[in-house]
Amino acid sequence: MNDPRYEPYSTSPDMSGSQQRKTLLWIGVGVGGLLMVMICSLSMLLAYVLLDTPLRMPALLQAQPDLPPPPEAPRAANTAPTVGLVLIEEDFAQPTNRWDQSFSRVVDGTYELRVDVPNYDRYGLFLSNGPVTNFDMGVDVQQVAGDPTAEYGIRFRQSGPGDYLMFSISGSGYYRLVRVKSNAYQSLVPWTFDRRVATGAAAVNRLRVIARGSNITAFLNDVQVITTTDDNVTGGQLTVGVTTFDQGGLVVRFDNVAGQAEGQSLQEDFSNAETTRWSIGGATIRDGAYELFAGGGIQSWQQPLPVGSSRVNDFILEVEAELMSGADENIAYGVMFGDGGSFDFYSLFIFPDGSMTLILSDGEGGLLPLIPRMDVPAINPGRNQINDIRVEVRSNVIRLTINDTSLPDIEGPVPIQGEVGMIVSSGRTGSVQARFHRFYLRELPKGGQQI
């Protein structure tokens, strides 16, 4: 075959067999080196990813929230003071947001808190032997109804309904540590989004707070998320709490409480409503009346909303009150006034046997009877009996009238200024339920005619 296109393979005159082998060897070394560089680069990249992932994990967990953070505070907490003299009239015949409608109870082996009105809070109280400063408490929480931006968690060192600390989460996946002082909210740790917050109707989260002196540590589902200090170390109530913002209808259940508080065990699974050491009570509007109820060993009171709207100095207060149920002879119902916000207020109580008392609570657990328990013939005793209560305060002098019968005037030992409301008090083991058919509050100008 002489076709030049198919000449047999041959080497060039200057390339020997040995040279070919050397060339192939160098090519192999080059390819191998390139592969080694690629392998090392991939290894370094993999190592970087593996080593960097734990460092970047918090950022990953906090990325891409589905909803913006909840509000800093309920709107009602920032309501401007009432202009002019206070005047509140209510017959409870129509639906209204003027009054709290919420409760705490044991249901289905859990402790349930419900708040029906927007921009309001409620708490359930651990019935301790005294103020709690140091504690370690864990609890399961589940939101079963309501807006996902609602807030719920562990409230502690509570010196008044508007003074406490709270480690809380929202149904939208955020947590925070907030201080509430005189109903003003300040986030010590702001709302922080965290994917470890389980969300949805069936989601259960485990919260835990350890408070030792000024040191506060908080855990979310067994992961420490907050460590901080509280320079204002003071004892107070230990509670669980919930807060609504723009929507009401919030229901949260708490279960499997564990830990200790000032040497007292907190262990509680809420399997028995009769023996639970957590407060039971609430309020609702029904059949043209405002109903208050309270479980054994506690007092429960309600004041008009928004918070602070019933703050007065001199005033006239009139209510129509009716005892509905309660077996203990020490259950009582009536009105309270001069509430400064730190459990310091005056209380007028009527008892089932037709007696009454006027008591001053000093805010530190002390009670001063201004009128010792005494029989008043004008009182309609027993249940399902309506009693008209009238309180008039002018220049710190108190005039009480029950069913149009006046009692001797009394001068208050401390200034009478603050919020006004209605109250019930249960016996040590029993419960109490009362209805209020009318509420009338009128603030009087200062320096008016003396009583």
CATH number, domain at 416? 2.60.120.560
- pLDDT value at residue 202: 86
Residue 429 in any domain: the answer is yes
Question: CB–CB of 422/441 below 8 Å?
Answer: no
Residue 261 in any domain: the answer is no
- How many folded domains does the chain comprise? 1
The residues that bridge with 400 in the sheet, in sequence order, are 391
Dihedral pair phi/psi, residue 38, rounded to 5°: -65, -40
How far apart CA 171 and CA 174 sit, in angstroms, is: 7
Going residue by residue through the chain, which has 451 residues, state the pLDDT in tens, using 9 for 90 and above. Answer: 333 322 332 333 343 445 555 544 444 545 455 445 454 554 554 444 444 444 444 444 445 787 899 999 998 544 445 568 999 999 999 888 899 889 999 999 999 999 998 999 999 999 988 899 999 999 999 999 999 999 999 999 999 999 999 999 999 999 999 999 998 999 999 999 999 999 988 899 999 999 999 999 999 999 999 999 988 888 999 999 999 999 999 999 999 999 999 999 999 999 998 889 999 999 999 999 999 999 988 899 999 988 889 999 999 999 999 999 987 888 999 999 999 988 899 999 999 999 999 999 987 778 899 999 999 999 999 999 999 999 999 999 999 999 999 999 999 998 899 999 999 999 777 799 999 999 999 999 976 555 4
- pLDDT value at residue 2: 35
Residue 246 in any domain: the answer is no
Residue 146 in any domain: the answer is no
What range does the domain containing 336 cover?
280-451
Residue 145 in any domain: the answer is no
Residue 403 in any domain: the answer is yes
Question: CB–CB of 209/132 below 8 Å?
Answer: no
Type of residue found at 185: Y
Residue 314 in any domain: the answer is yes
Q: What angle do CA 132, 240, 335 make, to 5 degrees?
A: 85
- Sheet containing strand 151-160, edge to edge, reads 121-125, 237-243, 151-160, 163-170, 174-181, 184-193
- pLDDT value at residue 347: 97
Residue with tokens 């805010």: 363
Residue 432 in any domain: the answer is yes
How far apart CA 79 and CA 322 sit, in angstroms, is: 32
